[in-house]
């Protein structure tokens, strides 16, 4: 799996938007960009994924750069419940389902 | 629609005993993955199974660890002769194709 680079930690105030960056300069044409998060003492949770176009769902938005070498996960209004480690992961879509390779992720702190 | 179920949630074993961790995937999901998270470390892939088949076991330790996903029943991760270094959280995930849905994990403590 191609490598991703994320900041170790970020802070946000509650009710404000949060932009979590991810660099993946070696991404291949068949890699999807996936985001998962892990809340304290819980299993990881799927957030969103995309290939080329920006994506929105009820949890977040994913903005993908035109050259696909970077992406940004956007939480529109952070809450205390969004405090978690966020992982940006690349997965090849040409085969069948495959493993997730987790990096160190970004630890998001949300304060009042 | 129930999520991924794992049991037990907490398991304590003495060194040398066997640990059996169970995972029931979401209804209709035929892909099961096991991951391990050592204390203060990241999640590491262990094994990927489909019904009755091991697809990718590249992350499994060579000895003492085995996994199965029988035609009927849950997936089982088995650790024989546990050692203190096996103490970790073990997460199971299931999927249909792209997204993986994780269970709450089994926290294994070896004393």
Instruction: Give the lowest-confidence range in A12-21, A48-57, A90-99.
Output: A90-99
Minimal Cβ distance to A46: which of B48, B99, B104: B99
Tell me the pLDDT tens digit for each residue of A28-47: 988 999 999 999 999 999 99
Minimal Cβ distance to B104: which of A42, A99, A104: A42
Instruction: Give the distance from CA B13 to its chain's centroid.
Output: 16
- Beta-sheet pairing, B53-56 with B75-79: unpaired
For chain A, say whether B90 makes contact (Cβ under 8 Å): no
CA atoms of A47 and A81, how far apart (whole Å): 14
Confidence of residue A97 (pLDDT cuts 50, 70, 90): low
The DSSP secondary structure of B15-57, one letter per residue, reads: TT--EEEEEEPPTT--EEEEEEE-TTS-EEEEEEEETTEEEE-
For chain A, say whether B26 makes contact (Cβ under 8 Å): no
Q: How many helices (H) and strands (E) does chain B have?
A: 0, 11
* Ranges in chain B, pLDDT < 70: 1
Q: Do B102 and A99 touch (CB under 8 A)?
A: no
């Amino acid at each position: 799996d191609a490598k991703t680079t994320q900041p170790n930690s970020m802070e946000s105030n509650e009710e404000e938007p949060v932009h979590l960056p991810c660099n993946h300069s070696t991404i291949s044409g068949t890699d999807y960009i996936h985001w998962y998060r892990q809340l304290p003492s819980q299993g990881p949770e799927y957030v969103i994924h995309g290939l080329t176009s920006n994506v929105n769902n009820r949890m977040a938005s994913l903005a993908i750069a035109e050259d696909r070498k970077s992406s940004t996960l956007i939480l529109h209004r952070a809450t205390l419940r969004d405090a978690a480690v966020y992982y940006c992961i690349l997965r090849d879509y040409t085969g069948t389902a495959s493993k997730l390779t987790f990096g160190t992720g970004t630890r998001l702190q949300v304060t009042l | 629609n129930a999520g991924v179920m794992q049991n037990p949630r907490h398991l304590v074993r003495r060194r040398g005993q066997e640990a059996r961790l169970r995972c029931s995937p979401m209804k209709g999901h035929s892909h099961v993955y096991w991951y391990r998270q050592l204390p203060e470390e990241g999640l590491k892939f262990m094994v990927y199974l489909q019904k009755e088949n091991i697809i990718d076991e590249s992350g499994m330790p060579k000895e003492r660890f085995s996994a199965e996903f029988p035609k009927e029943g849950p997936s089982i991760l088995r650790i024989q002769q546990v050692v203190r270094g096996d103490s970790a959280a073990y997460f199971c995930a299931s999927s249909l194709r792209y997204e993986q849905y994780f269970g709450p994990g089994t926290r294994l403590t070896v004393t």
